[in-house]
């Protein structure tokens, strides 16, 4: 028999106590395992919920290993023992002190007395296990909260940096107060859209498809191919989702002002895939405009291209190809896809 499948341990190396106790317990559906010595008992204590042992088994053995095990119990644990003592002789006072949570039964014991003592010990151990589970859950909640707070600090710092960059770049590219206000407000709204997608997953990931739909949705027409989204379901962590979301907003804005979305027949094709490169998973994303007016590369870099070329390459370690082709703007990028969640997934019971 293997101790891992038992509930009760029995140490009674002298006489018939072990056999009698095992038979009594088996008749009421309580399984047990008999061990030959105190070392065997200590070995299997963690696999059982209670131990029955005789006074002489303790007195005739070195009890130090058992004492050490009892001392090393976690705070929730108070392991129950049933000590079988000789009638008419009080047990050695050292033994109850050693075992701490102990029920003393005189021999010969009545079967009902043994059954009640063992059942009481099992109920007590069950309560202790419930306390253990509660403490572990509290620890998990505490760890989750600590991670959320750390991530919140990280995200607020990054968001403020992004807003500061938006403010400066918008101010430099605006010709009037009204123009500055509209452009800056639009960019803040785009940033808020990405944040909303992230917070739906407790600030962890955002769906790339949902990010594209949020930006392209206002330009939808009766044409079924006004924009084409082609790629697998991909969820981006915040460090990639925020800058890529801003880049998508700038691409949409420029397409609506000067590119394919400025004409009813124009359309946008966005394609993405996951690629393996050097043992890591990378996101490859492509944006292509079709059916718009002829595109000419501007003489100076605007805010959108600056954001794409600087922020994505610096913050996301992206490799970018950004072209102004006659048929429309084309963007291709490849960036490391971080799949590890900083905060454990939140499960509602």
Rounded mean pLDDT, 56-83: 94
Average of per-residue pLDDT values in the chain: 82
Predicted pLDDT at 346:
42
Predicted pLDDT at 173:
62
How far apart (Å, rounded) are the C-alpha atoms in residues 83 and 55? Answer: 6
Q: Which residues contact 52 (CB under 8 A, 6 or more apart)?
A: 8, 9, 10, 11, 12, 21, 32, 81, 82, 84, 114, 118
Q: Which of 331, 318, 320, 343 has its CA nearest to residue 270?
A: 331
Cis peptide before 7 (omega within 30 of 0): no
For residue 144, pLDDT over 70 is answered with no
- CATH architecture entry for 174-336: 2-Layer Sandwich (3.30)
Q: What is the pLDDT of residues 113-133, one digit of tens each?
A: 999 999 999 999 999 999 999
Could you tell me what percent of the chain has a pLDDT over 90?
A: 41
The model's confidence at residue 58, banded by pLDDT at 50, 70 and 90, is very high
How far apart (Å, rounded) are the C-alpha atoms in residues 337 and 278? Answer: 13
As a dihedral over the C-alpha atoms of residue 337, residue 321, residue 197, residue 184, rounded to 10 degrees, the angle is 140
How far apart (Å, rounded) are the C-alpha atoms in residues 179 and 167? Answer: 13
Predicted pLDDT at 349:
36
Structure tokens given for 335: 């960036």
Q: What is the Cα 201 distance to its own chain's centre?
A: 12
The model's confidence at residue 250, banded by pLDDT at 50, 70 and 90, is confident
Q: Which region among 66-80, 124-138, 249-263 has the lowest average model confidence (pLDDT)? A: 249-263
Predicted pLDDT at 238:
75
Whether the CB-CB separation of 77 and 110 falls below 8 Å is answered with no
Q: What is the pLDDT of residues 276-305, one digit of tens each?
A: 877 788 999 999 999 888 877 776 666 566
For residue 201, pLDDT over 90 is answered with no
Predicted pLDDT at 67:
95
Whether the CB-CB separation of 308 and 250 falls below 8 Å is answered with yes
Predicted pLDDT at 71:
94
Spell out the domain ranges in the chain: 3-134, 174-336
Predicted pLDDT at 48:
94
CA distances from 207 to 78, 123, 218, 219, 233 (A): 49, 48, 18, 20, 7
Q: Which of 156, 146, 247, 251 has its CA nearest to residue 195?
A: 156
- What single string gives the DSSP state of each residue in 61-123? S--HHHHHHHHT--TT----EEEEEETTSPPPTHHHHHHSSEEEEEESPPHHHHHHHHHHHHH
Whether the CB-CB separation of 295 and 327 falls below 8 Å is answered with yes
> Other CB atoms closer than 10 Å to residue 287's CB: what's the count?
23
Q: What is the pLDDT of residues 146-192, one digit of tens each?
A: 755 665 565 566 566 556 655 765 676 678 888 888 777 776 776 67
Identical fold for domains 3-134 and 174-336, yes or no, is no
Collapsing DSSP states into helix, strand and coil, what is residue 146?
helix
Rounded mean pLDDT, 74-93: 90
Rounded mean pLDDT, 26-41: 94
Rounded mean pLDDT, 232-248: 83
Residue predicted with more confidence, 99 or 310: 99
Q: Which of 270, 132, 168 has its CA nearest to residue 214?
A: 270
Q: Please, is 101 exposed, middle or buried when counting C-beta atoms within 10 Å of its C-beta (0-12, 13-18, 19+)?
A: middle
For residue 345, pLDDT over 50 is answered with no
Rounded mean pLDDT, 95-99: 93
Kindly state the DSSP code that residue 343 receives in the 8-state scheme.
Answer: S
For residue 3, pLDDT over 50 is answered with no
* Homologous superfamily in CATH for domain 3-134: Response regulator (3.40.50.2300)
Q: What is the Cα 13 distance to its own chain's centre?
A: 49
Range 227-230, long-range pairs (CB < 8 A, 24+ positions): 227/267, 227/268, 227/269, 227/270, 228/267, 228/268, 228/269, 228/270, 228/271, 229/270, 230/269, 230/270, 230/271, 230/272
Predicted pLDDT at 313:
82
The model's confidence at residue 195, banded by pLDDT at 50, 70 and 90, is low
Q: What is the pLDDT of residues 265-277, one digit of tens each?
A: 888 999 999 998 7
Predicted pLDDT at 5:
46
Structure tokens given for 286: 């492509």
Q: Which region among 35-39, 170-174, 236-240 has the lowest average model confidence (pLDDT)? A: 170-174
């Amino acid at each position: 028999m293997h101790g891992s499948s038992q509930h009760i341990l029995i140490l009674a190396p002298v006489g018939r106590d072990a056999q009698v106790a095992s038979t009594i317990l088996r008749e009421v559906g309580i399984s047990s395992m008999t061990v030959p010595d105190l070392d065997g008992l200590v070995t299997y204590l963690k696999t059982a919920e209670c131990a029955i042992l005789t006074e002489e088994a303790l007195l005739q053995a070195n009890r130090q290993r058992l004492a050490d095990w009892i001392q090393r119990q976690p705070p929730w644990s108070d392991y129950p023992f049933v000590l079988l003592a000789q009638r008419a002789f009080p047990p050695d006072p050292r033994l109850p002190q050693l075992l701490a949570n102990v029920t003393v039964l005189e021999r010969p014991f009545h079967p009902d007395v043994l059954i009640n003592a063992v059942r009481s010990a099992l109920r007590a151990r069950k309560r202790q296990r419930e306390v253990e589970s509660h403490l572990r859950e509290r620890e998990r909640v505490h760890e989750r909260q600590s991670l959320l707070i750390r991530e919140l600090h990280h995200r607020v710092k990054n968001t403020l940096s992004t807003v500061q960059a938006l403010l400066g770049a918008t101010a430099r590219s605006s010709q009037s107060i009204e123009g500055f206000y509209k452009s800056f407000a639009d960019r803040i709204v785009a940033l808020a859209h990405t944040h909303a997608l992230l917070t739906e997953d407790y600030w962890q990931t955002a769906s790339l498809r949902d990010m594209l739909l949020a930006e392209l949705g206002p330009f939808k027409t009766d044409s079924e191919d006004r924009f084409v989204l082609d790629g697998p379901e991909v969820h981006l962590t915040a460090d990639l989702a925020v800058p890529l979301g801003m880049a998508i907003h700038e691409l949409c804005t420029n397409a609506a002002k000067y590119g394919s979305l400025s004409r009813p027949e124009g359309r946008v094709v966005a394609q993405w895939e996951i690629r393996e490169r050097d043992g890591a998973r990378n996101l490859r994303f492509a944006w292509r405009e079709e059916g718009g007016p002829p595109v000419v590369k501007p003489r100076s870099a605007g805010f959108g291209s600056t954001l794409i070329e600087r922020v994505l390459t610096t913050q996301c370690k992206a490799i970018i190809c950004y072209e102004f082709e006659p048929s429309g703007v084309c963007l291709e990028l490849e960036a490391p896809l971080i799949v590890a969640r900083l905060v454990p997934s939140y499960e509602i019971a």
